[in-house]
Amino acid sequence: MTKLLACGGLVVAALASLGASAATTPPLEVYAAGSLTGVMKPIIRQYTAATGQAVTILHGPAGLLRERIEKGADADVYLSANMAHPQRLAAAGRGTPAVVFARNSLCLTTRHDIGLTPANVLDKLLQPSIRIGTSTPVADPGGDYAWAWFAKAETVRPGARKLLEAKARKMVGGSIPAAVPAKPPSGKELLLLQEKVDVFFGYCSSRGTVPDSELVVVKLPAELQLPIDYGMTVLFHSADPARQARADRFALYLMSPAAQRELVPFGFKPVTETATH
């Protein structure tokens, strides 16, 4: 796949010529992290318009999606909110070497009345009255990043890790929803609005759900940030070369300037330089 990604510009230029034949092919099956729910809609819409290739996508906690694939789920492309899951599939011989196709940052979503700011993040989170919500580690990379952040906080404030882990509640990301909710709020936003938690660890990217007047997203200070790379692998279908080629083409498109530009409005960071020009 690395060799294919180097030719991303060529495949994008050829997309229009694929439309007629792709219209008669089965849809691509894409498994993607829940945090990609918003941004994948315009990307898939553009891809289908350019190629005629239909794409079916299942969103959910990336760890649980990986488990489905390991148990035999019939997916073509897997998009994770970390590198560990696609690397595991690649190491098991199920897919191509994992590549980074997008980047994100860790943010805290909270209510305005909590008074959280980048400058007081750690002090505020360590207050006994502040209830912390996270995704479920292992099942969802968002939970893994939260626990990694607790460890990072320990390097700034000794004793912080134990206190934060004791306070944190694993509240979402333990199951794959039957369907993507058509209306806001999302699970974490509902928990905040119902005042079941005060602060929720998540990504700086957005699905564009709850209005800004309801909740606030607070960026973490630079010294407490973590690298968040989104990984992709194309699952192997050696018995069906045509299907394999269709999956490879979609993966190439995700690395194209056209697709990478769509990441920015949703708060993701593109990985190709041309996407920012």
pLDDT of residue 13: 46
Interacting residues of 99 by C-beta distance below 8 A, sequence separation 6+: 1, 2, 5, 231, 232, 233, 255
196 is written with which tokens? 């079941």
Q: Is the pLDDT of residue 1 over 90?
A: no
Band (22; pLDDT cuts 50, 70, 90)? low
Q: Is 90 exceeded by the pLDDT of residue 176?
A: no
Lowest mean pLDDT segment, chosen from 61-65, 89-93, 193-197, 227-231: 193-197
**Domain 2-103+228-276: which CATH number of 3.40.50.300, 3.40.190.10, 2.30.30.790, 1.10.260.30:** 3.40.190.10
pLDDT, residue 186, reads: 62
Q: What is the spatial distance between Cα 34 and Cα 60, in angstroms, rounded to a whole number?
A: 5
Q: d(Cα 172, Cα 133) in Å, to the nearest integer? A: 8
- CA–chain centroid gap for 150, Å, is 20
Average pLDDT of the residues of the chain: 86
Of the listed ranges 44-58, 134-148, 168-182, 241-255, the one predicted with least confidence: 168-182
Rounded CA-CA distance 277/273 in Å is 7
pLDDT at 57: 97
Mean pLDDT of the region 143-158: 96
Q: What is the pLDDT of residue 9?
A: 47
SS3 assignment for 204-245 = CCCCCCCCCCCEEEEECCHHHCCCEEEEEEEECCCCCHHHHH
- What is the per-residue pLDDT for 106? 94
Evaluate if residue 85 carries a pLDDT over 90.
yes
Q: What angle do CA 264, 125, 225 make, to 5 degrees?
A: 35
Same fold, 2-103+228-276 and 106-224: yes
CATH fold, domain 106-224, is D-Maltodextrin-Binding Protein; domain 2 (3.40.190)
Question: What is the C-alpha separation between 198 and 109, in angstroms, rounded?
Answer: 9
Percent of the chain, pLDDT > 70? 82
The string of pLDDT tens digits covering residues 34-80 is 999 999 999 999 999 999 999 999 999 999 999 999 999 999 999 99
Give the pLDDT confidence score for residue 6 in this predicted structure: 46
Structure confidence by residue, pLDDT tens digits, 94-106: 999 999 999 999 9
Domain ranges in the chain?
2-103+228-276, 106-224
Q: How confident is the model at residue 143 (pLDDT cuts 50, 70, 90)?
A: very high
Q: What is the pTM for the complete model shown?
A: 0.86
